[in-house]
């Protein structure tokens, strides 16, 4: 019991760490685009809550989760304020941001899969919901920045969710304790992400034979 | 009673005035982008009903409001037809459009906050819902035009919603009559908007120290 | 009875044919943009299920249709795999793709209108829901590709939905058998589309008198 509460507490904390990292990536993008302070705040928000919002809309969960979670909202405000003020500093700790971002990616994937399991969807839908929760905040961020989504072009990102999420899903189905499955998923996703950034590994793209 | 009905009637009228102005801004953008007649109609629609639609989706209000409000739909059709036909004329009355747009912004902010109050959300969520209702139609318009959202870069716009909306929220919480709170909110938002356009006042942006 | 089951079976089959064609158009776009394999899959998905998803969200139907329809999901996977592998070949059968795409457009329009009729909306909303179901997958595809939506600029597309959809709606209201109305709608939409592509017919655009 005590143990379970602690592991819940750690999970919630990691969720806020991930939210923080996602919000910071929205701030960085908005500043790159020379958006004003309101634009910075909006991009921080959509990056942090976009994936979960789309998931909840698709599932018909309403109101969407963040409307009732002040901790998430305050975390985004704090992330926005600190990373805007200490912008130059933040640019220098890119490696740490990637690490926190990977933690967020893992936590969001787990939350998405859990929502799918609660609604009794099959493995394919559950893993899709997990991947979507982890990645679509960044897609909305890029669309609102006028960029092609980085997700579709950069190092392995969504695939990390799919692999880590699949392991998590089947671990839970096999009856492995939830928090052990979670640790497994987080370790896998963070490892894949850090290695793919470190060695600049991307998914293959399909070359067009003829130029347009 | 009589008085209340009249003030409801005025509010509804102003809502349609705002819808008209928002639709016209969609038409202007579509023409600028050389979109065809269908594109013009879609941009008029998403600009006018986009903010309210996202709000209703987030809150789980379904079907979304405009599906059951023919007056709004006909207003958008009329706005599209007249501003497409009299396009050259419309370009010359930009100042008036800004004024009507500001009225729409205020009305939409009030409606968004009211939805939040009905669902018993706190002040932060209510003001967010108001601002979102007022501003996200324009964001979708810009995304569908292939532009970076103007909202994040131009004169004070969302901030007008936040200030006017906060006043409205606290006026209502303090027990001030709804229609007095509304007048207060509309006057504040329209004044801030007209002054910021007149004197070209923007929110600060954060400069990047190094160029990419 | 037997007859009705058969015509249901054909309708379901045509729905999957349309889903296939829409997914392929997402794949082609993603490859043109040099997106990676995950980007290709996402664009295939949003093109095929985007219109229906937005319709279901607006109507408050949840979870959205495709989450419970594995046939649609597998069709998209198969479309993605085959058109990615046989990309060069697919580029050469553009005419056939346009034909299958037109079938999808017609089926999706019919499904959208049926949802509207079930919810007892008027003709205007029903036809809007049909058009939206048919066309908005392509709009999302283009937005995620960083392009201005083709829908607003190319040969007659949405107008085919509006004309075919109107005929379908009024045929059903006049008591004509559902599957006869469907055949009528499909023939009209496919004919309009094939002719407008063949003769490169577009909706008029409004010229701006002065340059910006």
CB B149 within 8 A of CB B139: yes
Task: Quick: pLDDT tens for A22-71.
Answer: 999 999 889 888 888 889 999 999 999 999 999 999 999 989 989 988 89
C62 is written with which tokens?
Answer: 């949840």
Q: How far is CA C204 from CA A200, B84, B161, C142, C195, in A?
A: 48, 12, 37, 21, 17
pLDDT of residue B2: 46
Alpha-carbon gap, residue A195 to A193, rounded angstroms = 5
- The pLDDT confidence band at residue B212, using thresholds 50, 70 and 90, is very low
**Region B157-185 average pLDDT:** 91
- Give all chains having 3 or more CB-to-CB distances under 8 Å with chain B: A, C
Distances (CA, A) of C102 to B199, C20, C186, C187: 51, 12, 8, 10
Q: Is the pLDDT of residue A150 over 70?
A: yes
Confidence of residue A5 (pLDDT cuts 50, 70, 90): low
pLDDT tens for C66-82 read 998 889 999 999 999 99
Min Cα–Cα distance to chain B from C148, Å: 5
Q: Average pLDDT of chain C?
A: 87
Q: What is the DSSP letter of B207?
A: P
Out of A24-38, B83-97, B189-203, C129-143, least confident range: B83-97
Q: Mutate which of A30, A46, A60, A63 to disrupt the B interface (most B C-beta within 10 Å)?
A: A63
pLDDT of residue C8: 76
Both tokens assigned to A196: 């793919």
Sequence ranges of the domains in chain A: 2-198
* Interface size, chain A vs chain B, as Cβ–Cβ contacts under 8 Å: 77
Closest by Cβ to B121, choosing from A53, A57, A67 = A67
Spatial CA neighbour of B163 closest among B136, B127, B196: B127
Average pLDDT over residues A81-94: 84
List CB contacts of C156: < 8 A, sequence separation 6 or more: C192, C193, C196, C201, C202, C203
Are C117 and C175 in contact, with CB atoms under 8 Å apart?
A: no
Least confident of A51-60, A175-184, B125-134, C116-125: A175-184
CA B134 to chain CA centroid, nearest Å: 3
d(CA C52, CA C64): 8
Mind listing the pLDDT tens digit for each residue in B105-127?
A: 999 999 999 999 999 999 999 99
Please report which confidence band the pLDDT of residue B209 belongs to, taking 50, 70 and 90 as the band edges: low
In this predicted model, what pLDDT tens digit does every residue of C26-42 receive, in sequence order?
Answer: 998 898 888 888 899 99
Would you call A206 and C84 a contact, using CB atoms and an 8 Å cutoff?
yes
DSSP letters spanning C63-119: S-GGGG-HHHHHHHHHHHHHHHHTHHHHHHTHHHHHHHHHHHHHHHHHHHHHHHHHT
DSSP alpha helix (H) spans, chain A: 2-32, 37-59, 70-85, 87-92, 94-118, 123-144, 158-173, 178-198
- CB within 8 Å: C145 and A147: no
C contact test, residue of B45, B59, B67, B90 with most C CBs within 10 A? B67
C158-194 per-residue burial string, b: 16 or more CB within 10 A, e: under 16: bbbbbbbbbbbbebbeeeeebeebbbebbebbbebbe
Distance, CA of A142 to CA of A123 (rounded, Å): 29
**Residue A202: both structure tokens together:** 């991307």
Contact residues, chain B, for C208 at CB < 8 Å? 31-32, 87
How confident is residue A14, by pLDDT bands cut at 50, 70 and 90? confident
ipTM of the complex: 0.86
- Judged by CB atoms closer than 8 Å, whether chains meet at A203 and C143 is answered as no
| Contact (CB<8Å) A58/C62 | yes
Which chain B residues are within 8 Å of A34, Cβ to Cβ? 153, 205
Among the listed residues C109, C204, C206, the one whose alpha carbon sits nearest the alpha carbon of residue C162: C109
pLDDT tens digits, B13-52: 888 988 999 999 999 889 888 888 889 999 999 999 999 9
Chain C residues with CB under 8 Å of B142 CB are: none
- Nearest residue of A to residue B60, measured between CA atoms: A62
Comparing CB atoms, the residue among A124, A204, A209 nearest residue C37 is A204
Separation of alpha carbons B140 and B157, rounded Å? 15
- The CA distance from C208 to the nearest CA of chain A, in Å, is 25
Shortest CB distance from C152 goes to which of B39, B53, B87?
Answer: B39
Report residue A212's pLDDT band, with 50, 70 and 90 as the boundaries.
very low
Chain C hits for B33, Cβ within 8 Å: 148, 152
SS3 for A129? helix
Distances in Å between the alpha carbon of A77 and those of A13, B133, B149, C97? Answer: 16, 20, 21, 48
Q: How far apart are CA C93 and CA B69, in angstroms?
A: 45
Q: Is the pLDDT of residue B3 over 60?
A: no
DSSP A163-202: HHHHHHHHHHHTT--HHHHHHHHHHHHHHHHHHHHHTT-B
- Model confidence band, residue C210 (pLDDT cutoffs 50, 70, 90): low
| Per-residue model confidence as pLDDT tens digits over C176-188 | 888 899 999 999 9
Say how far apart CA A156 and CA A193 lie, in whole Å. 7
Q: Give yes or no for residue C211 having a pLDDT over 70.
A: no
Cβ contacts below 8 Å, chain B against chain C, sum to 77
pLDDT for B78 beyond 90: yes
SS3 content of chain B, % helix, strand, coil (to 5): 80, 0, 20
What does residue A176 show for φ and ψ, rounded to 5 degrees? -65, 140
Q: Which two tokens stand for residue B95?
A: 């100042």
């Amino acid at each position: 019991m005590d143990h379970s509460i602690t592991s819940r507490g750690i999970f919630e904390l990691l969720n806020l760490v991930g939210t923080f990292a996602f919000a910071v990536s929205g701030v960085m993008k908005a500043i790159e685009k020379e958006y004003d302070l309101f634009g910075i705040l909006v991009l921080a928000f959509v990056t942090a809550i976009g994936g979960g919002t789309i998931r909840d809309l698709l599932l018909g969960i309403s109101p969407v989760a963040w409307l009732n979670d002040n901790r998430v909202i305050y975390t985004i405000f704090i992330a926005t304020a600190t990373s805007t003020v200490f912008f130059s500093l933040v640019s220098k700790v890119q490696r740490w941001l990637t690490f926190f971002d990977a933690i967020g990616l893992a936590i969001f994937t787990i939350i998405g899969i859990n929502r799918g399991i609660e609604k009794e969807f099959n493995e394919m839908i559950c893993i899709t919901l997990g991947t979507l929760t982890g990645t679509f905040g960044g897609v909305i961020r890029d669309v609102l920045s006028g960029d092609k989504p980085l997700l579709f072009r950069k190092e392995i990102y969504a695939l990390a969710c799919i692999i880590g999420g699949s392991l998590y899903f089947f671990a839970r189905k096999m009856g492995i304790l939830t928090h052990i499955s979670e640790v497994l998923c987080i370790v896998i996703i963070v490892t894949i992400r850090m290695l793919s950034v470190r060695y600049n590994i991307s998914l293959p793209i399909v070359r067009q034979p003829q130029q347009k």
